[in-house]
Each structure stands twice: as structure tokens, then as C-alpha cells.
Amino acid sequence: MKETQSPWLYLFNRGEEYQAYRRFGAHEIAPGRWQILVWAPHAQAVAVVGDFSQWEAVPLKAIAATGCWQGDFAATAGQLYKLQITTPTGAVVEKIDPFAFAFEPKPGTAAKLWDLPQHDWQDAPWQAQMQAEPVYSRPLNIYELHLGSFKRNPDGSYLSYRQMIPQILPYVKQMGYTHIELMPLMEHLLDASWGYQLMGYFAATSRFGPPEDFLAFVDAAHRLGLGVIMDWVPGHFIRNTDTLAQFDGTATFEYQDPHRADNVRWGTWNFDLGKTQVQSFLISSAMYWLDYCHLDGLRVDAVSNMLYMDYDAGKENDRNQDGGRDNLEGLAFLKKLNTAVFAAHPEALMIAEESSAYPQVSAPIDTGGLGFNYKWNMGWMNDTLKYFAMDPYARREHLDLLTFSWVYMYDEQFILPFSHDEVVHGKKSLMHKMTGDRYNQFANLRVMFVWLMTHPGKKLLFMGGEWGQFLEWRDYTQLEWVDLEDPMNAGMQTFTRTLNKLYAKTPSLWTQDHDPAGMQVTLGSGPEQLSYIRWGQAEADCTIVVLNLMPLEVQHFRVPVPAAGVYTIVLNTESQHFGGTWRRLQRTLKTTGVPAAGQPDSVEVVLPAMGALLIEPKLRR
């Protein structure tokens, strides 16, 4: 890099360079010739070492008043390299390149000389569609994936990115999902961390193949009509001494104060989010995945850890300079991140995994919000799972676990998540959480999924939940696909696919997710049944939802409806087709002329035991 290119460094040091990956790290500047740029502001010296030099040091030159070092050398793409840094104390340590695009397979930590991965993108129609359609008023039904354990080869080895294209993407599409959400694919060492303790902020993990193959995976998803979101972890990084920790011999990426740097909860180091160079580094990482790799969005992990001074264990009394709990640097960083992302990608999904009641997480920055466009609704998730785990006769005093969400469901733009975190570490799988014998567990699961798909908010389900896998998720082996030989599991999978496709083609279930006009409760004061109407934007566009939360069939159940006419039952969770017991189904309903629950008319149905019905107007009188 030449001195005449210093504007890049000026912006980087100001925290305003959002494509730093284009200049930092190693890039091939001519055939067989590579150039490298490194930020190590307190180093006495920096060199690059690798198999291209028999691991002998090739010194880099300091760029005055920038904290950066540069140099070039002869090498071949794919060769391994590390940085050799002489710290302020004179110690010589080897470190990764923070901007590397590829790494050697674990347990090694050397980067590979790999320039920006190349791909001939064929997803222009998808990109145009996403830019043309407002994100809030379209269906969003996310399938959360851990690529290392969805399926594996017969010998237990990982599928490659290329193998995943035919083995994962068509299945997700056929199941009726709109997007996949990938647990972090940035390079990480420990499989059991699931990618949340990472080191390579610009490198798709080598576990599944080279970076170009990951781009092919994204492109294939888009051409199939699937969006791709990835979990992204800007709050903290792994402790390993040859990665980012004490990078130049001082606290470079982490806080200088060891107490603030130490993330006790996850055994990692917290990024110093107030440091301008760290802001450039992290926002450039976000831009790399969104811009260069064509991802449709990022689910930002552990936002609460960046919002509060006292979030972590042992920090209960930590306060900011004003005496408050807020992490002022974290708040400013998140606003800066979202401002930068939406300036470049207004159609992007920026999703906060935030577990507290911090206000306006998904509100615009100019109105006092953090600027995300979605937030996970962890309260809804916890209350729902607690309710459905109860014996039905114990639920009578606890309907508020479901209805309490109605109090705050428009406070944020929510995604309703049944994520991987709820099916590990002894929490049991979704199906195993359900109460009763095996038949009733599936009946409860079907009703809970109707609650998910008809409650205001977008949707997320972790893999395996769609067919009621009994075992908890295990990251070290593939899902229990053998389950589908059981008619109950196969029926559950059919039910989920049917419900997903019904959701996608029913505007009343998603066009007004974030508008109070989108839902009207018609019957919810009793402890055993719920009835509500989801409204679309078009006149008379509605779906009536009825949930029976008890294992007792109800004859002549009166369902309030908004107008006289003929109605159709479009879904009955107790259909034999789904694993239920009903062979003959009610289809067409005529209004009775009897008002009910504030509605001008009603229909009578047989309400299945521990079942749910979805009803739509067929025609009007």
C-alpha cells in the first residue's frame, strides 16, 4: 500500500471506513505477488511469516502516524501465513490476520493467502424483488440451520457447501420457509461453540469448503427463492492468544480495562466498541457479508451484552460515567452499525437477539431507537413454552402466559423464535417439552405451531422442530432423520409444511404484523379456548383462529365472525393427514345470525380436543 492511499487509513482510524477488507489483510496485487496491511498500533515491529518463506520473517514497514504496517512478498494463493508481532515489551508473538478471507482447517489457526472470493452471481431477480417489496409487509418464516448437523455424509464427515446445495436448500423450500438463518459461519476453532466464539470475521469456515463455495451456496438459495441470514457476533471474541487477544501486545481490539474486557459468561474478551478502529473493523465485517457475500441480513447476537454495563456475571454494580447501567459505547456502536448498514442496504434485515425490555430496539434512530428492524421476542417464547409444558388442567389459572403478549406485541417489530437455545443443555426438544403421552405431545405441538404462525410477528423455527424430533439437538451428529419413518413424525412434518404454505399465501397473517389493526381478540377471557381474527389490509381479508387448549372435544362451539356469510375451515390440526384422529372434516360453515363476543354474527363448529381451526370467509351474502 502506498502513502497516496492514506485516506483509507484516515477513515479507518476515525471509525468511518466500512469496506476496510478491500485494503487490509493480504491481497494479490500481481500474479505471484501479495501485499499486506496490518493494524498494530503499539507494535515495535511486524512481519509476515508463512510456508512461502519457510516461515522466515518478511518485515513490514510502519506507515507513519497511522498505527498500520505494510509490505509485499512473493507467494502463491492457498499458502499459509501468520503475522509475527514484536510487542512493546520486546516479546515476539504469532497472530492471525484479522482480515483474512480463509483459514486452514482446525485445529490450525494459520490464515490462507486467499484474495476476495469470486463468484459469477446469478441472483439479480432475487435482489430486485427484495428491494421492491417492503420487508415489514411480506411473509417472513425463517428456518434456523446449523450446517454442521443438519445432515452429514455416511462416514460422519461434514457435507461441503456444494453438497449442501441439493441436500438442504430444496428441502427448506419445499417445507414452505422464506429464509434460512445460519448459525455463525465465520471461522472458529471449537465445534461446541457453534460459531459464537470466533476468530475470522471475514472468513467463511473452512469446515465446509473454500469461500467461493459458500458464495455459490448463497446464490443457489436466492435462485431458489430463499433468503439467507447469518448470526453475527460483534460483542466478543475468543481468548486464544494467537488470535485477536492482546493483538499487538496491548489491549488492541478489547477494552484496556481488564474488568470490562473480561466476558465471564462466555469465557471470551469483549470488543472495545468505543474504539474507532474497532468500529471500522466490525462494521466492515457486517458489510462484507451483506454487500460482498449477498446475505439478506444479520441476526446480531447477544445485544444485551452490548447494552448494559452490569449484564455479565460479577459486574452487577458496574456503572457508566453518568452513574447509569447503559453501556454508552455499545449503544453508540449499534446505532452507528445500523445507520451504516441501512444507508448501503435499505432492504437488509438487521435482527437483534436481545433478551431484556430495553425500549425501542427496533425503532428508527431518529426517533430515539437503536435502528434494528426486528427484535426476537424472548418473552413470548418463554411464556409460550412454559404454558404448553403444563398439564392442560393446570393451565386454567395460567392463560395469561399466552395473553400477556397481547399487551406489548406492538412495542417492537418482533420475530417469534423457537431457536436452537431452547432445545439444548437439558431443556428438551420442542416435542419432548409438550405434556401428555406421545399422541398428546404431537397434538399440543400442532396447536403451539398454530399459535406461532397466527400471532402477530414474524416466525423462526430451529431445524428438527418441524417434525417433532424427540432428542435434544446435538451439534456433533446429524438430525434424527430416521424419525420420519414413524407415521407420527411424518404427519407432523406434513402439518408444518401445510401450515407454512398456508401462512405464505394468506396476507391477513402477515401484512399487518406490526399494526394494531392486524389483530382483534374475539374470545379470550375463559381459560380453555382462544379465538381471534387476523386482518389483512384489503377489506374483508381476514383469518379467524380458534384454539382449544384442553383435551376435550367441544360440540356446537360458537365462533364469533365479523360478517354474515359462508366460511371455510382451511386447517384442522386434528386431521388424520397430520397424525390426528379426524377422518371426516367440517369444511363449509354458514353463519347462524347470532351475534357473539362483540361480532355481528357467528358460526358453529365442532372444536377438536387439543386442536386448532383456521377459518376464512368464502363468500359474503
Residues with a catalytic annotation lie at 301, 353
In 3D, which of 295, 388, 399, 396 has the Cα closest to residue 349? 295
Q: 374 near 397, Cβ under 8 Å?
A: no
Sign of the CA dihedral 428, 431, 435, 438? negative
Residues near 505 by beta carbon (within 8 Å), at least 6 away in sequence: none
Say whether 561 sits in a helix, a strand or coil. strand
CA 227, CA 218: separation in Å to the nearest integer? Answer: 8
CA 28, CA 117: separation in Å to the nearest integer? Answer: 12
Which residues lie across from 158 on neighbouring strands? 152
- Give the position of cell 509490505: 71
CA 127, CA 298: separation in Å to the nearest integer? Answer: 16
Long-range CB contacts (< 8 A, 24+ apart) of 61-66? 63/1, 63/3, 63/6, 63/9, 66/6, 66/9, 66/13
Q: Per the structure block, which three cell numbers stand in for 487?
A: 407415521
Q: How many angstroms separate the Cα of 118 from the Cα of each of 27, 115, 121?
A: 13, 9, 9
Sign of the CA dihedral 261, 265, 268, 270? negative
Residues near 331 by beta carbon (within 8 Å), at least 6 away in sequence: 306, 307, 370
CA 542, CA 524: separation in Å to the nearest integer? Answer: 18
Residue type, 526: G
Q: 316 near 264, Cβ under 8 Å?
A: no
Residue 22's Cβ-count burial label (10 Å; 0-12, 13-18, 19+) is: middle
CA 7, CA 11: separation in Å to the nearest integer? Answer: 6
Q: Per the structure block, which three cell numbers stand in for 375?
A: 427484535
Nearest-10 crossing angle of helices 438-454, 487-504: 10
Residue type, 114: W
Say whether 555 sits in a helix, a strand or coil. strand
Phi–psi pair at 137, nearest 5 degrees:
-105, 25
